Structures are given as C-alpha cells and as structure tokens.
C-alpha cells in the first residue's frame, strides 16, 4: 500500500469563504471516515458564538481554541497575552496534535491573521508546517498569509472579495456570517 | 419582527474552495436551525461519488441532482440533453423549491458552469434569481460566473488559484478533492 501523503493548504484573501471552505473540506473528509481536528485562533465563542461549532463537534471533530481575545475586539487585552496564546497553540499542535491525536485533517482556523498582526512570525508557522506528520493534511485559513507562507504550501486559494453586503451596510447575519 | 431578507451569493473562480464554501455555509446554517436544500448540476455521484453527500443528508439537507452527465465526462451525452436537464432544474427550483420546500438556504452547486458551456444563458439564471422568495439565501457556485450574473448578486467571492497540487501532477485525492 502506498504511503499516504498529506499536503498543506492555505485559504487567504479578503473575500467570504475561507473558514467555510475549511468546514466544507471537513465534511468531505468526515464522509470518507477521516479524523479531523480544528484549532481556532482569535475566536471567543462565548462572546461571539457561531453556528458551525456545535455541528462540527456533533460530526466528531475535536476542537481547540487559543488566543481567544485580541485587542481588536477587547482593547483591555494585551498584545503580549495574544502572542503567548499563539505560542501555546504552536506547542500544543506540535507536541499533542501532531503526536497523539494525529488527525488525517487538521485545520488551523484564522492562523494566517497572526502574521500581519505580528503575533507569530511566518518562520514560526513554517517551522510548524515542517514538523507536520507526513500523512496529515494541514489547512491554514485567514487573511494575511505572507508570500513566504504561501511558498511553503502545496495549495493556495486566494478568495477575492468582488462584492460583499457589508459594504452596503448590511450587518453580520446569523447563520450566514456566523 | 423584521422581515428576513435573504441575499444572493456567488462563489466563482478557478481555485479550490467553491463547493466546500457552500458546504461550510450549510453547516453554519444548520447550526442555527435553518432548513437547507442543495441542487447539484453536472455531478453523477453514482460514477463519481463524493464524501460530502452522505454527511449533508445526515445533517438533514435535502439534495437534488440535474444534468448529471455532460459530454466532458461522457462523450456520448448530447448537449441537448444537458440543456434539457438544466431547464428541468430551473423549473423544479422555481415551481417546487421556491414554493413548497422554501428552504432558508438553497445552494445551486456548479450552476455557474452552465453559462460558459451555453447550457443556460445568464438571463435564464437571472430570471430565476428574480423569482427567489424574499427570505431565502441563494448560493450559486462554479467557475464561469459572467459579469452579468455577478451584477445580479449581493455577494461575490472569486477564488483564485495561486497554486494547486494538480499542476504538479498530484491526482485527485479522496476525502480532499472529492
């Protein structure tokens, strides 16, 4: 039997469809009996709940959250604590998810945002990618993927916002945007 | 209570993430208790099975298929029969899904492909959009969305392929591409 080789996928750009692509990929993988884990960055579900979390867990996806709060939504949060949360995530992914959980598909949701915000350097993320178990498919989502990160990936989709209702003042809609 | 107003979303472009975005959106919508229906175009699941179908149905999504075969995959199929399948789909959507099923979210998967292949005109699709029930969110996926169709939508994400493993000769992978 051939050895399974997982690739690295990046979904970036300013259009709608990055997190939802990764969820769709998860559904496809679950349908094939794959084990899937999610690590969410910069999302505090207790303040900003989202429709997908419960369904993902119902489908057997293990989910983890790091660096929940950022100064963007909570000005009292220090940049240092966000950086610390991101480093904790990298350690957890490398030492726990890569080694013990070892899912077939691992999604690092919004991690690309850590780069333009200087919470993580692209070298730190590339180092993580290099330690990925060979069979694991790794998906990185979020705006702000740098050229360097994109060079380290096998698949890059850039989702361009041609048009978004936010621009006409339509507020975020439950079940659609979150 | 405010009247719910559904919008029209288009996912197009040559990158990976169009169908998976719509599936992710479905998961989010299901998590909010929305009713979701799918109409698949140009996909013969009995020949080319896909991981997501079973999970979507398990989540309560009603799925329908039209114009299953095209000359691209089955040279013996006539263009006329594809056109007929597409017209049947439009009728079914307008007279059955818009009226009786009336889901909160309706995905027309790969319908945009009908335009460059001249199976449907953009005016036929725009006419469908115009008949959409007000509260329904309508999602159109597939390469080849024309400028005219995009003008008729509220949200357009164009997924650009920066890089895809197909280009390095990696074959379609179960659980990832299908």
B5-33 tens-digit pLDDT: 999 999 999 999 999 999 999 999 999 99
Choose, out of B107, B137, B175, the residue to mutate when testing the contact with A (most A CBs < 10 Å). B175
Give the minimum alpha-carbon distance from A39 to chain B in angstroms, rounded to a whole number.
16
Q: Which of residues 145-164 of B touch A (CB under 8 A)?
A: 150, 153-164
Q: State chain B's mean pLDDT as an integer.
A: 96
Q: Cβ–Cβ of B28/A175 closer than 8 Å? A: yes
Residue B132 has pLDDT above 70, yes or no: yes
Among B9, B31, B159, beta carbon nearest to A157: B159
Q: What is the pLDDT of residue B109?
A: 98
Percent of chain B past pLDDT 70, that is, above it, reads 99
Q: Cβ–Cβ of B16/A155 closer than 8 Å? A: yes
Q: By the CB < 8 Å criterion, does B11 face chain A?
A: yes
B71-113 tens-digit pLDDT: 988 999 999 999 999 999 999 999 999 999 999 999 999 999 9
Q: Which of residues 79-98 of A touch B (CB under 8 A)?
A: none
Q: What is the pLDDT of residue A96?
A: 98
Q: Counting Cβ atoms within 10 Å, is residue A106 exposed (0-12), middle (13-18) or buried (19+)?
A: buried
pLDDT under 50 in chain A at which residues? none
Cα of A104 vs its chain's centroid, Å: 15
Q: What is the pLDDT of residue A4?
A: 87
Among B53, B59, B157, beta carbon nearest to A16: B157
Q: What is the pLDDT of residue B3?
A: 77
Residue B95 backbone phi and psi in degrees, to 5: -95, -20
Q: What is the pLDDT of residue A11?
A: 98
Confidence of residue B1 (pLDDT cuts 50, 70, 90): low
Size of the A and B interface in Cβ pairs below 8 Å:
184
On chain A, the residues whose CB falls within 8 A of the CB of B30 are 51, 55
On chain B, the residues whose CB falls within 8 A of the CB of A175 are 28-29, 31-34, 104-105
Q: By the CB < 8 Å criterion, does B51 face chain A?
A: yes
Confidence of residue B2 (pLDDT cuts 50, 70, 90): low
Q: What is the pLDDT of residue A38?
A: 98
Among A19, A156, A165, beta carbon nearest to B24: A19
ipTM of the complex: 0.94
pTM assigned to the model: 0.96
């Amino acid at each position: 039997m051939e050895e399974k080789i997982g690739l690295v996928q990046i979904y970036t750009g300013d259009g709608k469809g990055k997190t939802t692509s990764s969820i769709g990929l998860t559904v496809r993988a679950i349908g094939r009996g794959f084990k899937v884990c999610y690590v969410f960055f910069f999302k505090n579900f207790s303040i900003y709940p989202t429709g997908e979390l419960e369904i993902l867990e119902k489908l057997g996806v293990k989910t983890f959250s790091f660096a929940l709060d950022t100064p963007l939504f909570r000005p009292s949060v220090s940049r240092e604590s966000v950086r610390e949360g991101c480093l904790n995530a990298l350690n957890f992914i490398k030492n726990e998810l890569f080694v013990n959980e070892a899912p077939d598909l691992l999604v690092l949701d919004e991690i690309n945002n850590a780069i333009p915000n200087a919470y993580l350097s692209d070298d730190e993320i590339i180092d993580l990618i290099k330690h990925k178990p060979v069979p694991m498919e790794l998906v990185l989502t979020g705006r702000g993927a740098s050229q360097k990160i994109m060079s380290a990936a096998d698949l890059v989709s850039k989702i361009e916002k041609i048009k978004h209702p936010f621009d006409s003042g339509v507020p975020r809609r439950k079940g659609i945007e979150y």
